[in-house]
């Protein structure tokens, strides 16, 4: 889909992505230790909205519509109906039409699509906020909640950790088909942690990981699946983080920008989007992500670009194998040859196609509903030179995001262009 | 919002709305008795989509986008990510971009808004399906799930049945302010059941209710709240039904209609929509539904209509008091005088402003995510003469829906125009 009216990303915000008992909130030396908790879902939304509006000196009263990306508020936090939570988090948005959208881990991406369409329908300023708080429950219970993003009836029994197992079927198949090694997958983890180490907002900012640590299963890095066929093919270091966090972007038309008091060159444009969904529980090919391919091809086609035109990308590395398969599904590498792209170094911060520069889902973290919004915000930050220690030094004209829900079931891909 | 491109409702479908252990599915004389269950959420979606496409001889391959309205699939059915369930329910929709939207009981309404915007963005055929299955759990557990549509942290403790209690605060306040009687509220129930008795799809199709039965609390019609201040002001007969069901509509541009092989006069138009949200847990005025008023006024303004121009309406009578308050918030009656409108008979099937002709949420039933979609489908059916025993005999040019999430927290209102 190519927007007929120009759609700008006018501003963005990302909260720190954090794990359970984060020291900023449960500081051991603090008299409140044990009583301070990670921010609630409402507080995460407020943090992102405060940063978006006040941090950028923008007036919320210009917002005419909003979408909230969230996967499991009703499960993790006993709270659904998050469209009507927005104006608790930012009272100046009271009265504005807001909806929550859910497409598993693509909840943020589908929210952006709805907001782009709202601008096409004639609105001038639309808000997208993605948020998730998952540290309220034990990992095993969280895995059961997340399994509701798969076809629960037929897929839940695969493993207590259903989603890691689903994606590990792909890793196992890829190893068998193309000779992928544990060391190969470990290289994705090392890239992710290395980038996250330069990113103060990242969940893994202070966690260091060597190739040796990532490659070998160990007490610190166990093969934690129970399914005996899949267990050897996944280590903790292959997984995205169970994070709390939020991200927000403000979309605007030309007219919206001027109301906000912004100039186009302070912004980036959403040049196109692709969106596709395929039936739950019916993955056709463990070796190829069809839905990613459909959505990315639509986005590229409608932006009149080829895969090689992309200069910076955020892809949905919920597990290391996913980043590999996305290289191939987007068309940056041929089938079975994605490791060559990684090994070439082209997708590192120093390469010509840096992917997941802030650490991706493995390093930056994965607060489910926030992820798709964070990806778009990250491209904005790289294009506008806001990435600090992980800033790409070249000028960046064209970026891409790939946000995936479930095992290649719902995918939203954006092409984003810098405005100079 | 007034669509710049004309948006038609090209077709609609509604499944039978049913309660727990419905005899069509657990027939006592059947050898499978005790083993047949109500349809699952996936099956409800399939029933609606089959009726929409095959029932109307329409080809699903024309659909370019879809939205699924659902409140609590992950709670009631362990199943979220329902955008990717659509192509399990209707395999010919594989590959098409789909998202689930949630705004409590307005989940259907917000889905329609997103689909209208998608048509404005240039797509030609968009699907909206709303579905809910809630009979999988006990009423008390279901009430806890539904409380996630309120501000759970601050409102859950109001009563085990949080939502009935929230709306009953309004009934109590209205009684105190304007002298409303139990008999007054009972008249809404009687209208709803009477209409439902003519509607074979209605949950209450075979349940008869007299004014005397509805007015007096009894063993069959108890005051079931525990909160002592609110308990006297709500009977079971004041409540919408805990139903399973689904509804679907197909939206199309002019171009979309011709692809579908339909003529405009087989369809109706969405002339405008209004949408508003206000903060959870912060109802300002128990006597007036501000958010309804905002959304309905926007819809009427953008259709260049006054409240008196509406000839048929579907309003969100989650409880009897809500229908009364909506008469006043839309502007059909002055504040405090809604009972006069009901007592005039104008909102019955024989009146000039029939409201909730198929029984509304109290009589037809309330499968949460389906309700907003069903409302639009009902206006289509009345305009096109498809309502059988509850068909309005006059020609209907202009209709309205009001779909509400939470206690006046998210509201979508549509103005729908017949095409002759």
**In the 8-state DSSP scheme, what is residue B8?**
E
- The closest of A102, A86, A75 to A48, measured between CA atoms, is A86
Question: Where does the pLDDT of residue B34 fall: very low under 50, low under 70, confident under 90, or very high at 90 and above?
Answer: low
Name the strand (E) or helix (H) holding B375.
helix B368-383
**How many angstroms separate the CA of residue A39 from the nearest CA in chain B?**
14
Residue B304's contacts (CB-CB under 8 Å, 6 or more residues apart) are none
| B280 and B202 housed in the same domain | no
In a domain, B167, yes or no: yes
Phi and psi angles of residue B130, each rounded to the nearest 5 degrees, phi first: -115, 140
Residues of chain A with pLDDT under 70: 25-36
| A95 and A122 housed in the same domain | yes
Q: How far apart are CA A275 and CA B98, in angstroms?
A: 8
Query: Among this protein's residues, is A105 annotated catalytic?
Result: yes
Residues of A in contact with B99 (CB under 8 A): 101-103, 110, 113-114, 410
| B260 and B370 housed in the same domain | no
* Yes or no, beta carbons of A1 and B121 under 8 Å apart: yes
> Could you say which residues from 81 to 100 on chain A have a Cβ atom under 8 Å away from some Cβ of chain B?
81-88, 91, 94-100
> Could you say which residues from 3 to 62 on chain B have a Cβ atom under 8 Å away from some Cβ of chain A?
3-4, 40
Interface mutation target, options A45, A65, A70, A99, chain B, most CBs of B under 10 Å:
A99
| B393 and B412 housed in the same domain | yes
Q: Does B137 touch chain A (CB under 8 A)?
A: no
| B166 and B121 housed in the same domain | no
Asked whether the beta carbons of A371 and A365 are under 8 A apart, the reply is no
Name the strand (E) or helix (H) holding B66.
strand B65-69
Chain B nearest-CA residue for A41 = B153
Residues of B in contact with A37 (CB under 8 A): none
**How many angstroms separate the CA of residue A317 from the nearest CA in chain B?**
19
- The closest of A171, A311, A146, A297 to A232, measured between CA atoms, is A171
| B212 and B106 housed in the same domain | no
- Active-site option among B105, B239, B267, B318: B105
Tokens of A144: 């059961």
Residue A47's contacts (CB-CB under 8 Å, 6 or more residues apart) are A15, A39, A246
Among candidate residues A191, A221, A237, the one where a domain is terminated: A237
In a domain, B406, yes or no: yes
| B184 and B72 housed in the same domain | no
Interface mutation target, options A67, A83, A115, A278, chain B, most CBs of B under 10 Å:
A83
A182-196 and A320-330 helices cross at what angle (nearest 10)?
Answer: 90
| B360 and B388 housed in the same domain | yes
In a domain, B227, yes or no: yes
Given this model, what pLDDT does residue A89 score?
96
Chain A nearest-CA residue for B4 = A121
Give Cα A305 distance to the centre of its chain.
23
| A320 and A260 housed in the same domain | no
- Active-site option among A203, A205, A233, A366: A366
**How many angstroms separate the CA of residue A86 from the nearest CA in chain B?**
7
Q: Does B153 touch chain A (CB under 8 A)?
A: yes
Given this model, what pLDDT does residue A26 score?
56
pLDDT at B141 exceeding the cut of 70: yes
In a domain, B147, yes or no: no
Task: Give the nearest partner residue to B100 out of A102, A117, A276, using CB atoms.
Answer: A102
Interface mutation target, options A66, A68, A86, A102, chain B, most CBs of B under 10 Å:
A102
Sign of CA dihedral B355, B358, B364, B366: negative
Q: How far apart are CA A202 and CA A361, in angstroms?
A: 9
A to B CB pairs, distance under 8 Å: 220
pLDDT tens column, B318-328 = 999 999 999 99
Query: What percent of the residues of chain B are helix, what percent strand, and what percent coil, each to the nearest 5?
Result: 40, 20, 40
- Establish whether this prediction's ipTM goes over 0.95: yes
| B57 and B14 housed in the same domain | yes
Given this model, what pLDDT does residue B35 score?
59
Q: How far apart are CA B120 and CA A119, in angstroms?
A: 9
Given this model, what pLDDT does residue A250 score?
98
| B203 and B227 housed in the same domain | yes
Chain B nearest-CA residue for A151 = B79
**How many angstroms separate the CA of residue B387 from the nearest CA in chain A?**
31
Residue B1's contacts (CB-CB under 8 Å, 6 or more residues apart) are A121, A122, A123, B113, B116, B272, B273, B274, B275, B298, B302
Structurally, chain B folds into a number of domains equal to: 3
In a domain, B148, yes or no: no
A302 by Cβ neighbours in 10 Å (0-12 / 13-18 / 19+) ranks as middle
Asked whether the beta carbons of B234 and B362 are under 8 A apart, the reply is no
- The closest of A290, A4, A11 to A127, measured between CA atoms, is A11
Q: Spell B212-243 as b/e; 16+ CB within 10 A means b.
A: ebbbebeeebebbbebeebbebbbebbbbbbb
pLDDT at B155 exceeding the cut of 60: yes
Q: CATH number for the domain including B295?
A: 3.40.47.10
In a domain, A3, yes or no: no
**DSSP string of B167-188?**
HHHHHHHHHHHH---HHHHHHH
**How many angstroms separate the CA of residue A284 from the nearest CA in chain B?**
12
Given this model, what pLDDT does residue A32 score?
58
> Can you give the residue range of the structural domain that contains B214?
160-237
Given this model, what pLDDT does residue A33 score?
55
In a domain, B341, yes or no: yes
pLDDT tens column, B240-295 = 999 999 999 999 999 999 999 999 999 999 999 999 999 999 999 999 999 999 99
Chain B nearest-CA residue for A98 = B277
| B259 and B378 housed in the same domain | no
**In the 8-state DSSP scheme, what is residue B221?**
S
Given this model, what pLDDT does residue B76 score?
98
* Yes or no, beta carbons of B123 and A406 under 8 Å apart: no
Pairing of strands A398-405, A312-315: parallel
Residues of A in contact with B66 (CB under 8 A): 277
In a domain, B127, yes or no: yes
Q: Does A248 touch chain B (CB under 8 A)?
A: no
Q: Does B270 touch chain A (CB under 8 A)?
A: no
Residues of A in contact with B369 (CB under 8 A): none
Given this model, what pLDDT does residue B396 score?
98
Given this model, what pLDDT does residue A28 score?
55
Q: How far apart are CA A37 and CA A60, in angstroms?
A: 28
- A 10 A CB-CB count for A236 gives 15
Given this model, what pLDDT does residue A362 score?
98
Query: Among this protein's residues, is A267 annotated catalytic?
Result: no
């Amino acid at each position: 889909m190519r927007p007929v009216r120009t759609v700008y990303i006018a501003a963005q915000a990302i909260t720190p992505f954090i794990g359970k008992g984060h020291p900023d909130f449960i500081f051991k030396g603090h008299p409140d230790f044990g009583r301070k908790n990670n921010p609630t879902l409402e507080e995460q939304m407020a943090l992102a909205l405060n940063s978006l509006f006040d941090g950028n000196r923008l007036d919320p009263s210009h917002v005419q519509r909003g979408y909230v990306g969230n996967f499991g508020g009703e499960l993790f936090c006993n709270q659904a109906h998050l469209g009507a939570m927005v104006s608790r988090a930012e009272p100046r948005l009271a009265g504005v039409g807001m909806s929550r959208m859910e497409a598993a881990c693509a909840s943020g991406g589908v929210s952006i699509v709805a907001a782009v369409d709202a601008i096409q329908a004639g609105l001038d300023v639309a808000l997208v906020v993605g948020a998730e708080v998952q540290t309220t429950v034990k990992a095993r219970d969280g895995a059961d909640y997340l399994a509701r993003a798969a076809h629960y009836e037929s897929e839940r029994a695969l493993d207590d950790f259903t989603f890691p197992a689903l994606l590990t079927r792909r890793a196992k198949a890829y190893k068998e088909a193309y000779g992928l090694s544990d060391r190969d997958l470990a290289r994705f983890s090392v890239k992710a942690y290395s980038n996250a180490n330069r990113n103060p907002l990242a969940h893994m900012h202070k966690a260091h990981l060597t190739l040796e640590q990532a490659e070998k299963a160990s007490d610190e890095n166990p093969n934690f699946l129970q399914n005996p066929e899949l267990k050897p093919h996944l280590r903790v270091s292959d997984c995205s983080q169970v994070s709390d966090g939020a991200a927000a972007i403000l979309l605007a038309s030309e007219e919206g920008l001027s109301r906000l008091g912004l100039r186009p060159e302070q912004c980036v444009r959403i040049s196109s989007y692709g969106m596709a969904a395929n039936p739950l529980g019916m993955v056709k090919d463990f070796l190829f992500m069809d839905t990613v391919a459909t959505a990315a091809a639509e986005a590229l086609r409608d932006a009149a670009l080829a895969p090689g035109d992309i200069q910076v990308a955020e892809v949905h590395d919920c597990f290391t194998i996913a980043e590999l398969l996305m290289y191939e599904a987007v068309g940056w590498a041929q089938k079975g040859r994605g490791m060559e792209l990684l090994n070439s170094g082209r997708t590192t911060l120093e390469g010509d196609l840096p992917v997941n520069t802030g650490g991706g889902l493995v390093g930056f973290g994965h607060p489910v509903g926030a992820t798709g919004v964070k990806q778009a915000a990250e491209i904005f930050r790289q294009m506008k030179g806001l990435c600090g220690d992980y800033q790409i030094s070249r000028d960046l004209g064209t970026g891409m995001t790939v946000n995936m829900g479930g095992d290649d079931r719902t995918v939203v891909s954006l092409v984003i262009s810098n405005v100079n």
